[in-house]
Amino acid sequence: MDTAWLNIVWFDLFVTIITGYLITDGFDLGAGILHPFLAKNDQERRVSLNSIGPVWDGNEVWLVLGGGALFAAFPLVYASLFSGFYTAMMLVLLVLILRTVAIEFRSKRPSARWRTTWDIVFFASSLGIALLLGVAFGNIMQGVPLDAQGNIRISLISLLNPFALLVGVTTVFMLATHGAIYLSMKTEGEHLVRIKRWIPRLMIIFFVLNTGVVAATVFTHDLIAERYLAQPLWVIFPALALASVILAGWMVNRAHYFIAFLLSSAMIAGLLFSAAIGLYPYLLVSTLDPAYSQTIFNASSEANTLTVMLIIAVIGMPFVLLYTAGVYYIFRGRVQLGPSSY
């Protein structure tokens, strides 16, 4: 019996989970990246923090789900990736912890110096997470030195190559744009006016950087270019991303902030699926020998494992989605500061 469909389903599910993480945790990372620039006083900084306060920790559940899905469905990739990128992963974990501490500790004392210190940590850790995740994804896109035993032997300095850094910086501006659009739903007054001025600037910078990533990918990574040349219909996903970012800016100008946020989310989804389609069926491309590359077929769990895990996912995912939707519905609308606010 052909079970290849299970591998494809799990690949799609994994990409969907990572997309969910970048959409949800992406906007609060973006809010952190913009924290020193959009909020000009303590009141506005508290509004920014409280706009993500009820949801930021729940958003990170998607990252845990992504790691669990990768471990369950594609254990060889999980082993290679987490060992080869060990230093980078530890840095991500460190800045995740620092960001959590900054959010929780900032409001513990009224001292201006105390709050400024944690504001800086919040900004730096948010920037660091976005940059590191983008750099990691850039390296996955261009391929890694994966040997026959599944080992990736690469230093942290080698990970910081020009293409990966370009993807990293692009990711920073993508999430900053997404975060600014989210903040437009949560703020008012001069704070909102300032955010609306920043959104077009961020979009332009992101568009230029993303164009650079696309050009570099087409001209230097034959695998992805050949995929789209062979099946040009898939260009609908990058086209969706482009249309979404343009329409999102238009919706912000017309004060339709929620629609703009949905379009910004569609932009992220379009970009992630564009990259996934370009790489399919590869998960890790070896730059040493194409035969060493890990695909969704040669690096997956047994069919029985994939089947059982799929049943669990079908049962469990609706609860995650319902919980997430419920939290966002309860805390909808503009931020109103209270005694228990950050």
Report pLDDT for 37. Answer: 93
Collapsed DSSP state (helix, strand, coil) of residue 256: coil
- Beta-carbon contacts of 310 under 8 Å, excluding residues fewer than 6 positions away, are 6, 9, 10, 13
Report pLDDT for 3. Answer: 80
The answer to whether residue 304 scores a pLDDT higher than 70 is yes
Percent helix, strand and coil across the chain, each to the nearest 5 = 80, 5, 20
pTM of this structure: 0.94
Angstrom distance (rounded) from CA 253 to CA 249: 6
Summarised one tens digit per residue, pLDDT across range 15-35 is 999 999 999 999 999 999 999
Reported confidence tier of residue 316, pLDDT bands at 50, 70, 90: confident
Report pLDDT for 162. Answer: 94
Summarised one tens digit per residue, pLDDT across range 61-76 is 899 999 999 999 999 9
Summarised one tens digit per residue, pLDDT across range 253-276 is 898 999 999 999 999 999 999 999
Angstrom distance (rounded) from CA 263 to CA 247: 7
Which of 1-5, 27-31, 252-256, 328-332 shows the lowest per-residue confidence on average (mean pLDDT)? 1-5
Domain boundaries, given as residue ranges, for the chain: 4-330
Report pLDDT for 99. Answer: 94
Alpha helices (runs of H) in 185-302, residue ranges in sequence order: 189-220, 222-230, 236-253, 257-279
Angstrom distance (rounded) from CA 257 to CA 263: 10
Task: Give the sign of the dihedral formed by CA 191, CA 193, CA 196, CA 197.
Answer: negative
Residue 217's alpha-carbon distances to 134, 139, 277, in angstroms, are 14, 12, 13
Report pLDDT for 1. Answer: 58
Reported confidence tier of residue 297, pLDDT bands at 50, 70, 90: very high
User: What is the phi-psi region of residue 292: left when phi exceeds 0, alpha when psi lies from -120 to 50, beta otherwise?
Assistant: alpha
Say how many residues make up the chain: 342
Summarised one tens digit per residue, pLDDT across range 189-245 is 999 999 999 999 999 999 999 999 988 988 887 788 888 888 888 888 888 888 998
Task: Give the sign of the dihedral formed by CA 80, CA 279, CA 236, CA 205.
Answer: positive
Amino acid at site 123: F
Backbone angles phi, psi at 284, to 5 degrees: -135, 120
**Of the candidates 61, 1, 42, which has an alpha carbon nearest to the alpha carbon of residue 322?**
61
Backbone angles phi, psi at 146, to 5 degrees: -95, 125
**Of the candidates 37, 14, 17, which has an alpha carbon nearest to the alpha carbon of residue 25?**
17
The answer to whether residue 119 scores a pLDDT higher than 70 is yes
The answer to whether residue 342 scores a pLDDT higher than 80 is no
Report pLDDT for 219. Answer: 83
What is the enclosing helix (H) or strand (E) of 116? helix 112-142
Summarised one tens digit per residue, pLDDT across range 280-296 is 999 999 999 989 999 99
